[in-house]
Amino acid sequence: MLTLIHELGGVIKPKEAQARAIPQDDGCAWLVKPVTMPARPYLRPAAEKECPKMASRIRRTFNRRSKRPNSRSKPA
């Protein structure tokens, strides 16, 4: 779920109060109203860049292996 908010952006709202309490190391807490997270996509750009390469590798491997005689097949 955290990945999705970073990828697409969105608003994080408190569920049952006016503000969210974010605990700090010193024992205190920050009270934060709704926060708008900007989209910072990293999965989609990586997939768009790598998918064509992966598809061609898979296609090449499939074609190469489909041309081999299958040693597992039973004689007719």
pTM greater than the 0.85 cutoff: no
- Give the pLDDT confidence score for residue 17 in this predicted structure: 87
- The verdict on residue 40 lying in a domain is yes
- The verdict on residue 3 lying in a domain is no
Q: How far is CA 45 from the centre of its chain?
A: 11
The number of domains in the chain is 1
Domain that holds residue 43: 12-66
pLDDT in tens, 7-30: 889 998 888 888 988 899 999 999
- Give the pLDDT confidence score for residue 25 in this predicted structure: 94
- Give the pLDDT confidence score for residue 20 in this predicted structure: 86
- What is the Cα–Cα distance from 36 to 67, expressed in whole angstroms? 54
- The verdict on residue 7 lying in a domain is no
Cβ–Cβ under 8 Å, residues 12 and 22: no
User: Per the structure block, which two tokens stand in for 3?
Assistant: 């990945």
pLDDT in tens, 45-69: 888 888 888 888 888 888 888 877 6
Residue 43 clears pLDDT 80, i.e. is over it = yes
- What is the Cα–Cα distance from 38 to 46, expressed in whole angstroms? 18
- What is the Cα–Cα distance from 5 to 22, expressed in whole angstroms? 18
